[in-house]
Every structure is written in C-alpha cells, then in structure tokens.
C-alpha cells in the first residue's frame, strides 16, 4: 500500500485541528490554495466534522450562502469562483443511480466535495482525500490528507505550512 502510493507520487499530511472555528478556517485555507476544480473526498464517522470542513472550503470560493448538509438531497450546488458541488453519498449505498453519479462526480469543471465516497460500489478517485477522526474526547480532530500527484505543488505547500503551524 505504502510502496504503491510512493510509486504514484502520493503525498501525505497529518494535523490536529481544535474546534469548529479552526475547522472552518482550515477548510478556507484548503479552498484558497486550490487553483483547479478538484475532487475532494471527506471521510470519517458521523459527526467527524466533514460538513464543517466543507463549509470552509465552500466559503473560500466567495459563497456567502449558509451551507447545510446535503444528506437528504444528496447534492447541493454553489456558484463560487469555482463552481462547487457538495455531495453526501451516505444514503446512496448500492449506487442505485450510477448515471446520476457519473454526472456529479466526474464533472471536472466543478470543485466536488464528497462525503461518504465509500457508499458507492465503485472507487471514487480523489485528488485530495481527507480522513477525519475525533480525538481528545471529541474536543479536536486528527486529519490525514493524501494528495494525488496531479495536485499543484503550491496547493500542497500551502496546506503543509498550515499543518506545520505551532
């Protein structure tokens, strides 16, 4: 697994984010660092903080609408600097509508934020994969990020400098 990642030029980052506000701030930094409409997957248990991070990323695109979880409607779109699609595939287990999935997930002109990517039966290949885990009795989150090789070096460097903050 690690060797496979290395040969494909994947990069990793790990950081701790404390509280809601910093989570949104980190999402904003991720969004500001992005120059292309990437596919970002947000992975973690219910209550991990996926939607909170998505809020920051969506705000970074100049969207001032209130962002709410698309759990029941599966997808919500926003007109930002990059057009944004926020998807929650939690209720999609079994991928009943693959056609719809194709349109939503493979639209490369759109910044796609995908919660529960593993709910569908095919592999969702992220440009940036974000795994979130609750730590410190729920007071903070451990975030692990994998960058595909096609992600801009500056995007990685910007996020890495936030990760390396003291």
Q: Which stretch binds ligand ADP (CB under 6 A): 11-19, 91-99, 106-114, 149-157?
A: 11-19
Starting at the earlier edge strand, list the strands of the sheet with 128-135: 11-18, 140-147, 128-135, 39-43, 111-115, 84-88, 75-78
Tell me if 66 contacts ligand ADP by CB under 6 A.
no
Cα dihedral sign, 69-34-31-109: negative
Residue 19 binds: one of ligand ADP, Mg ion, none (C-beta under 5 to 8 A by kind): ligand ADP
Number of C-beta neighbours around residue 78 at 10 A: 20
Sign of the C-alpha dihedral computed for residues 107, 75, 159 and 134 taken in this order:
negative
Tokens in use for 65?
């609408």
Is 50 an interacting residue with respect to Mg ion (CB under 5 A)? Answer: yes
Residue 48 sits in the site that holds ligand ADP (CB under 6 A): yes
Residues 18-37 that bind ligand ADP (CB under 6 A): 18-20, 23
Beta bridge partners of 156: none
Q: Is 51 in the site for ligand ADP (CB under 6 A)?
A: yes
Which region, judged by CB under 6 A, interacts with ligand ADP, from 13-21, 29-37, 75-83, 149-157?
A: 13-21
Binding status of residue 69 toward Mg ion by CB under 5 A? yes
Q: Indicate whether 134 belongs to the interface with Mg ion (CB under 5 A).
A: no
- Could you tell me the smallest distance in angstroms from the CB atom of residue 56 to ligand ADP? 10
Residue pointed to by tokens 């969506």: 58
DSSP 150: T
Residues near ligand ADP (CB under 6 A): 17-20, 23, 44, 46-52, 69, 139-141
């Amino acid at each position: 697994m690690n060797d496979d990642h290395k040969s494909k030029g994947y990069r990793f980052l790990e950081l701790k984010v404390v509280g809601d506000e910093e989570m949104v701030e980190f999402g904003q930094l991720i969004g500001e660092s992005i120059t292309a409409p990437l596919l970002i997957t947000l992975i973690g248990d219910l209550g991990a903080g996926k939607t909170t991070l998505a809020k920051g990323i969506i705000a970074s695109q100049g969207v001032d609408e209130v962002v709410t979880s698309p759990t029941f409607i599966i997808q919500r779109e926003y007109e930002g600097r990059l057009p944004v699609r926020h998807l929650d595939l939690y209720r999609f287990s079994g991928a009943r509508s693959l056609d719809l999935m194709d349109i939503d997930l493979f639209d490369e002109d759109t910044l796609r934020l995908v919660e529960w990517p593993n709910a569908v039966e095919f592999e969702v290949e992220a440009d940036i994969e974000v795994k979130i885990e609750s730590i410190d009795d729920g007071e903070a989150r451990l975030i692990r990020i994998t960058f595909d090789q096609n992600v801009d070096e500056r995007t990685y460097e910007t996020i890495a400098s936030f990760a390396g903050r003291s």
